[in-house]
Structure 1
Amino acid sequence: MSNIKAFVIKFKSLIGLIALCVIISIITPRFLNINNILNVLTQVSVNAIIAIGMSFVILTGGIDLSVGSILAISGAVAASIYIKTHSLFLALAVSIIIGALIGLINGALVSRGKIQPFIVTLATMTIFRGVTYVYTNGTPISGLLGKFSFIGNAKIIGIPFPVIITAIVFVITWYLINETRYGRYVYALGGNEDSARLSGINTEKIKTTVYLISGIAAAISGIIVTSRIGSASPNAGSGYELDAIAAVVLGGTSLSGGEGSITGTIIGAMIIGVLNNGLNLMNVSPFYQSIVKGLVILLAVLLDKKNKK
């Protein structure tokens, strides 16, 4: 019995995802349609990539509320550069650099400025949302055609390109967090910062780099969102930070840091995506959808705390 309980606790996120898929497929058979499944995977890709970056931050005991604003400004800059130069490489490069720079600013303020991550990223969330409005003059940047639209809308061997990008990001970050010294340092920092520092780990450097990774992940998602809808809206990414945090928590990562996995985060993002899709297929009002999502997240946190006790 104890072995079964241990198995359930270890794989609770995956079991929850499977159970959710079974329940929704029984209620609405349309869920298992191949086109619908590909649609779910495409929709999940944006949140999954942001959540992967968020995982690094939360594993160190931090939080990043600025990812939605990074998504918006990165997408807007990529769109404007592409429209002016028709250079896809330049648009993507500058967009990712902007995400990385904002991440570095967040990381420097947290690690060297000794300011709480919540306060830092709340401030930069507001600042860069404002910067996006100024940059776009409050109006969407449209007219994105050609190569740029390929990123968010193309399929390779029937697989949506955003899903392929997500898979690549997952493989790289999984290796980084599980198979490198850097990954061990991230876990050590989240487990006990004082012990990590005393053991010789440069905790300031690790803190800074996790926000850098989060910024890059948000920028990649910004490019995908902008490409999918064919325009860059100054409102893009609003509320995405909450979905990303929810995916990380549902995936079993502790908000206090030091415990969790990238695989779990992907499963958490899938739970949110499947739940959203299922509620839409059942024609549930968006107002009630927010209530259901909130209750699911709260239940996940309560179960996690109970298992730890």
Structure 2
Amino acid sequence: MYKNRKAIKALLIFYVIILAIMLVKAPSFFSVDNAMDILLNVSTTAIAALGMLCVLLVGDIDVSVGAILAACCTTTGLLAKAGMPLIVVIAGSMLVGIVLGLVNGMIVTILKLDAIVATLGLLSIYRGLLIIITKGSWINGLPKNILNLGQGRAFGIPIPVYIMILVAVIMWFVLNRTEWGRNFYAVGSNPASARLSGINVRKTRIIAFAVCGVLVGLAASIYTTRYGGIQSNTGKGWEMTLISSAVVGGASTVGGEGDVSGVFLGALLISALGTVLVFFGIDALWEQAVQGLIIFVSVASYAIDFKKLKSRFVKGGAEND
């Protein structure tokens, strides 16, 4: 977990610097309303990114999550318009998510395909099927009682924030206190050793994809009810947001590294970037470029072994002399 600790430390230092600058440049950034808006914005990203963390832990990756989000959002909208109770709407969205997650996991593991190639193909398949089913039309006019999930507040705090905290606590327990969590880390760290120790590697990888799908389904219900409508291209590019949130937070793309706190800090950084740029007076067109720069600097700050790099330069200099 060394890499993850370095990532969290780097993120905390980065946050301190940014907050110090904001305190001088834009004190209004620290208002309670702005804090609630930021937490609301990060809620769906953090919930789904925790699912992506599970996939990354076992050494896989899922780039179809944007399309899965769109499919689950569409399910949420259709069930809500059909007059289904809120619990049924959420369950339906999560069911679609877990089914698509299982499909991804089984295709990757049973067919022994590269995860990024397989899920990239599935991304196009899911998008295409969704356009055929919806005929490219928007889903609007959701019942007001359903919208309370994404727009309601309790004691001044948005309901999605409570859900995010609950999911984070559950995922922390799963990853740190259950056999599932231990298996995720073991499979990602060394699949051969995990297999020799009696762990069903294929099953564990499929479960990781399923967990990712079910959390994307939950995030989709919040997403849909927050905005009150859904279009077929919803979630386009969202896979990079989730992967970035996890990787910036210390999750390794080769497996075995990452935890809940790192993912939350990474998701907070990615989600709050737009708000920070607004307070700095920077055009929103720069958001993607700045996001990429921050991701690069954040990852490089803990990925590069500076001691080894320094020793090489010193050694090289000595040899040149």
1:141-160 deviation digits (Å, cap 9, x = unpaired): 00012221011000111110
Aligned: 1:252 with 2:253: no
Q: Is the 8 A contact 2:105 2:205 kept in 1?
A: yes
Q: Is the 8 A contact 2:70 2:220 kept in 1?
A: yes
1:267-293 deviation digits (Å, cap 9, x = unpaired): 111111232210122332222111110
C-alpha distance 10-97 of structure 1, shift in aligned 2 (>3 A): closer
Aligned: 1:270 with 2:268: yes
1:172-229 deviation digits (Å, cap 9, x = unpaired): 1110001112111111111111111111110001000000011111111111111011
Segments of 5+ residues of structure 1 without an aligned counterpart are 1-5
1:86-121 deviation digits (Å, cap 9, x = unpaired): 432322221110000000001111121111110121
Deviation at 1:304, TM superposition (A): 2.5
Q: Is the 8 A contact 2:274 2:284 kept in 1?
A: no
The letter for the 1-side match of 2:21 is I
Q: Which residue of 1 is the match for residue 140 of structure 2?
A: 142
C-alpha distance 73-10 of structure 1, shift in aligned 2 (>3 A): closer
The letter for the 1-side match of 2:240 is L
User: Any residues of structure 2 matched to 1:98-137 within 5 Å, and which?
Assistant: 98-137=96-135
Bigger CA radius of gyration:
2
1:23-78 deviation digits (Å, cap 9, x = unpaired): 23322222101101100000011111111100011111111111111111111111
C-alpha distance 136-283 of structure 1, shift in aligned 2 (>3 A): farther
Match of 2:76 among 75, 78, 101: 78
Q: State the distance in 1 between where 2:70 and 2:5 align.
A: 40
Q: Is the 8 A contact 1:73 1:131 kept in 2?
A: no
Q: Which residue of 1 is the match for residue 300 of structure 2?
A: 302
C-alpha distance 137-8 of structure 1, shift in aligned 2 (>3 A): closer
The letter for the 1-side match of 2:169 is V
For the residue of structure 1 that corresponds to 2:304, the secondary structure is helix
Q: State the distance in 1 between where 2:27 and 2:220 align.
A: 32
The letter for the 2-side match of 1:125 is L
Q: Which residue of 2 is the match for residue 212 of structure 1?
A: 210
TM-score (norm 1): 0.94
Answer with 123-132 or 11-20: which moved more: 11-20
Q: Which residue of 2 is the match for residue 42 of structure 1?
A: 40
RMSD: 1.7
Q: State the distance in 2 between where 1:239 and 1:8 align.
A: 28
Q: Is the 8 A contact 1:21 1:274 kept in 2?
A: no
Q: Is the 8 A contact 2:7 2:250 kept in 1?
A: no
Q: State the distance in 1 between where 2:5 and 2:34 align.
A: 31
1:154-173 deviation digits (Å, cap 9, x = unpaired): 01111101111111110111
C-alpha distance 7-55 of structure 1, shift in aligned 2 (>3 A): closer
Q: Is the 8 A contact 2:66 2:234 kept in 1?
A: yes
TM-score (norm 2): 0.90
User: Any residues of structure 2 matched to 1:166-205 within 5 Å, and which?
Assistant: 166-205=164-203
Q: Is the 8 A contact 2:7 2:248 kept in 1?
A: no
Aligned: 1:94 with 2:92: yes
For the residue of structure 1 that corresponds to 2:33, the secondary structure is helix
Question: How high is the sequence identity, in percent, across the aligned residues?
Answer: 34
C-alpha distance 127-25 of structure 1, shift in aligned 2 (>3 A): farther
Deviation at 1:8, TM superposition (A): 6.4
Q: State the distance in 2 between where 1:22 and 1:220 align.
A: 35
